[in-house]
A and B are shown apart, each in its own frame.
Chain A
Amino acid sequence: GAVVSQHPSRVICKSGTSVKIECRSLDFQATTMFWYRQFPKQSLMLMATSNEGSKATYEQGVEKDKFLINHASLTLSTLTVTSAHPEDSSFYICSASILAGGPSTDTQYFGPGTRLTVL
């Protein structure tokens, strides 16, 4: 099946630093990647939709200057949390959709997530 990896799986940083999270589709090409955030006991909330080679589309309430997304290739998207603060501590999950014409165009495959703790 389709595999999505994320790196790092866990990061602890000081307030004010920037953290980069990578999301890779390992065995397929993804036209679209998504970034979600999940706070404890809450549902996954979509932060932004990322298409290869174009600017990401951010959901309402998500600061695009704080959460920088780069989708440089069909297999890699990065999320950079700039000037992280304790309230940014959360579980960040990416997902990727297979190119149209692939095994399933409706299915999103999720990465294992990155747990960010900002001290």
Chain B
Amino acid sequence: RKEVEQDPGPFNVPEGATVAFNCTYSNSASQSFFWYRQDCRKEPKLLMSVYSSGNEDGRFTAQLNRASQYISLLIRDSKLSDSATYLCVVLPGAGSYQLTFGKGTKLSVIP
């Protein structure tokens, strides 16, 4: 089983749609979780951290289910500028900075 698994997509959605991405991780001791966004041929950029209680940042909502080792990202009211690859990222343990990346889910928002 891969350490971090994501549906590669692509997800093609119209502007204004709501889209959800899922991610599972294999290391139950993982401590921190993030969603990064990567535009084509660019470096990843932190979108948001994911907390057990769930967190929201504008149109973006992230959820963590530790029991199921599952992370989700919900994007509401999709914009054309949301088109990118979304990377699920896991930090294995306390004191470690070694991020483990999923392959990413590609999103295309269509006019």
Query: Is there contact, CB below 8 Å, between B43 and A113?
Result: yes
* Interface segment out of the listed A11-19, A41-49, A69-77, A78-86: A41-49
Query: Is there contact, CB below 8 Å, between B101 and A32?
Result: no
Interface size, chain B (Cβ < 8 Å): 19
Residues of chain B within 8 A (CB-CB) of A106 are 32, 49, 91, 97
Q: How distant is B38 from chain A, measured CB to nearest CB, in Å?
A: 9
Contact A32/B103 with A91-B41, A111-B43, A115-B41 known, Cβ cut-off 8 Å: no
Q: A97 at the A/B interface (Cβ < 8 Å)?
A: yes
Interface of A is mostly: strand
Query: Is there contact, CB below 8 Å, between B104 and A43?
Result: yes
Q: A93 at the A/B interface (Cβ < 8 Å)?
A: yes
Residues of chain B within 8 A (CB-CB) of A8 are none
Q: Which of B81-100 contact A (CB under 8 A)?
A: 87, 91, 97-100
Residues of chain A within 8 A (CB-CB) of B103 are 41-43
Q: How distant is B85 from chain A, measured CB to nearest CB, in Å?
A: 9
Q: Which of B57-111 contact A (CB under 8 A)?
A: 87, 91, 97-104
Residues of A within 8 A of B (CB): 32, 34, 41-46, 49, 91, 93, 95, 97, 106-108, 110-113, 115
A-B contact pairs, 15 of them (CB 8 A): A42-B103, A43-B4, A43-B87, A43-B102, A44-B101, A46-B98, A49-B97, A49-B98, A93-B43, A106-B91, A108-B46, A110-B44, A110-B45, A113-B41, A113-B42
